[in-house]
A and B are shown apart, each in its own frame.
Chain A
Amino acid sequence: MSLLRFKNVNFHNDGTTILKNICVDIETGDFISIVGSSGSGKSTFLKLCCHLISPTSGNITFKDKSITEYNPVELRKIISYCFQTPYLFGDTVIENINFPFSIRNLKSDAKKINELFSMFHIPADFLNKDVKTLSGGEKQRISLIRSLLFEPEILLLDEITSALDVNNAEIVENVIASLNKKGMTVLWITHNPEQSRKYANKLLTLEASEIKSLEVLA
């Protein structure tokens, strides 16, 4: 059974074709690197996965059930999307970290927060930091922690390391790889050829709005 299946999916925006005839099966535990030139439809593909947008035509199924049969809010809790440019809202880091708890009407879990902070090499006193004072790398790691607090089944990453230095990128890569080993399905858009093959078991190449290839990596 495919975890996520795209069948003849097309997406048009304002008369422009963004994705054309996309057919792909994503299995549980996959680590798929998505590559392709700018404008090939990579980000749109990820947004379709988490139902932030709907296809113009074609079907997307999650666990063999049409994505439209799911409550979109509940679906996005288990298919989490991390934007290329992290957006931290409010004034402090803690507001961002508490947000996933508050939308589930839960109290924040200090143990879980500390665990993730430590995995991403972020000191605990960061919680009270003003988001405006954070560097790009810090923002991206906080944004990832925010998405990982409730361990989504599928993690969608949109060029999250493109603005990070080598050390920060390595920290992020290691955390994502370890989560994938524990069973989390990962779809990662990257422009880095080395990164695209380092952890992934599949390499999806998009070109001119279509799937050029889906290569199974050794």
Chain B
Amino acid sequence: MNSSDTMNITSLLIASSLVLVTLFFSYFQKLKLEKDIIISVIRAVIQLIAIGYILEYIFGMKNPLFTTLLLLFMTFNAAYNAAKRGKAIRNGLLISFVSIMTGTLITLIILVFSKAIQYVPNQIIPVGGMIISNSMVALGLCYKQITSDFKNKSEEVETKLSLGADILPSSIEIIRNSIRTGMQPTIDSAKILGIVSLPGMMTGLILAGTPPMEAIKYQIMVTFMILSTTSISSFIACYLSYKGFFNSRKQLI
């Protein structure tokens, strides 16, 4: 396979017969997943075709303003989903939006200024998508951890408050623990790169004919940018959200 090869429809249809294998297993093992499998396959095909057309249209638009608006739209959607994971977080949507946007902005600025990528839709949109979605997952984990810690460690927080500590020193261990939780999956997956897993993006590049060493360069960039964005977003989100667990009289609520 080389980069000039394109998959024809017949090959794709034959490859699609793999779905029948899954259906066969489900039926044979009485897993009762046939309906779900069929729905998910149809949805995947329709969604991917739709996004294919949309991306072709977007990549054709060379207007940076349009690209920026699309990034903002992606960020808002990610923030909305992250906020849903942290229902106990006061102003969760705003905090998530600010956190993800800042993390994404800093990472993209570094990537563009270092000339690792260009500010063109076919590079910014996929890269932006990767870092925004990873930040969203990290924020969801942060929110879950910070909420459960404020519930389970209220004794520690109240002890520190009763000693005359302000709300930040009273919550600092919870904040640190939540940031760690948000970043841990990214750090763990970076540790096993190449040993346990060949990431999807790198595999995709190699399948498309890119030499492995070139694909690895991109993967290193992707790994670093995801690490950077998740750490910035988790840090901002936790430091903005902890205050919501106290009232104006600095009492734990």
Assess whether A72 is interfacial by the CB under 8 Å rule: yes
Smallest Cβ-Cβ distance to A81: which chain B residue: B162
Assess whether B169 is interfacial by the CB under 8 Å rule: yes
Among A51, A72, A102, residue most surrounded by chain B Cβ atoms (within 10 Å): A72
Contact of A77 with B164 in the complex, beta carbons under 8 Å:
yes
Assess whether B217 is interfacial by the CB under 8 Å rule: no
Contact of A72 with B249 in the complex, beta carbons under 8 Å:
yes
| Beyond A52-B158, A99-B160, 16 extra complex contacts between A and B, CB < 8 Å | A52-B162, A54-B247, A72-B250, A72-B251, A73-B250, A76-B162, A76-B163, A80-B164, A82-B162, A99-B163, A99-B165, A100-B164, A103-B164, A103-B165, A147-B163, A150-B164
Contacts of B250 in A (CB 8 A): 72-73
Interface mask (A113-126 → B, CB under 8 Å = 1, otherwise 0) = 00000000000000
Contacts of B58 in A (CB 8 A): none
Interface residues of B in 165-185 (CB under 8 A from A): 165-166, 169, 173
Instruction: Name the distance in Å between B57's Cβ and chain A's nearest Cβ.
Output: 54
Assess whether B188 is interfacial by the CB under 8 Å rule: no
Contact of A76 with B249 in the complex, beta carbons under 8 Å:
no
Instruction: Name the distance in Å between B157's Cβ and chain A's nearest Cβ.
Output: 10
Contacts of A50 in B (CB 8 A): 162
Assess whether B56 is interfacial by the CB under 8 Å rule: no
Interface mask (A76-88 → B, CB under 8 Å = 1, otherwise 0) = 1100111101010
Contacts of A102 in B (CB 8 A): 169
Contacts of B249 in A (CB 8 A): 51, 54, 68, 72
Assess whether B156 is interfacial by the CB under 8 Å rule: yes
Interface residues of B in 74-109 (CB under 8 A from A): none
Assess whether B117 is interfacial by the CB under 8 Å rule: no
Interface mask (B195-238 → A, CB under 8 Å = 1, otherwise 0) = 00000000000000000000000000000000000000000000
Smallest Cβ-Cβ distance to A54: which chain B residue: B249
Query: Which of A72, A74, A85, A103 interacts with B163 by CB under 8 Å?
Result: A103
15 residue pairs A–B, Cβ–Cβ below 8 Å: A72-B250, A73-B164, A73-B165, A73-B166, A73-B250, A74-B164, A77-B164, A80-B162, A80-B163, A85-B155, A87-B156, A87-B159, A104-B164, A147-B162, A147-B163
Interface mask (A21-65 → B, CB under 8 Å = 1, otherwise 0) = 000000000000000000000000000001111100000000000
Contact of B251 with A54 in the complex, beta carbons under 8 Å:
yes
Query: Which of A51, A77, A89 interacts with B159 by CB under 8 Å?
Result: A89
Assess whether A141 is interfacial by the CB under 8 Å rule: no
Tell me the complex Cα distance, A54–B251, Å: 8
Smallest Cβ-Cβ distance to B247: which chain A residue: A54
Tell me the complex Cα distance, A104–B249, Å: 19
Contacts of A150 in B (CB 8 A): 164
Assess whether B127 is interfacial by the CB under 8 Å rule: no
Contact of B162 with A100 in the complex, beta carbons under 8 Å:
no
Interface residues of B in 114-167 (CB under 8 A from A): 155-156, 158-166
Instruction: Name the distance in Å between A91's Cβ and chain B's nearest Cβ.
Output: 12
Tell me the complex Cα distance, A74–B164, Å: 6
Contact of A100 with B163 in the complex, beta carbons under 8 Å:
yes
Tell me the complex Cα distance, A77–B169, Å: 14
Contacts of A53 in B (CB 8 A): 251
Contact of A76 with B164 in the complex, beta carbons under 8 Å:
yes
Smallest Cβ-Cβ distance to B162: which chain A residue: A81
Contacts of B158 in A (CB 8 A): 52, 83
Assess whether A146 is interfacial by the CB under 8 Å rule: yes
Tell me the complex Cα distance, A165–B168, Å: 36
Tell me the complex Cα distance, A140–B251, Å: 24
Contacts of B156 in A (CB 8 A): 87, 89
Contacts of B163 in A (CB 8 A): 76-77, 80, 99-100, 103, 146-147
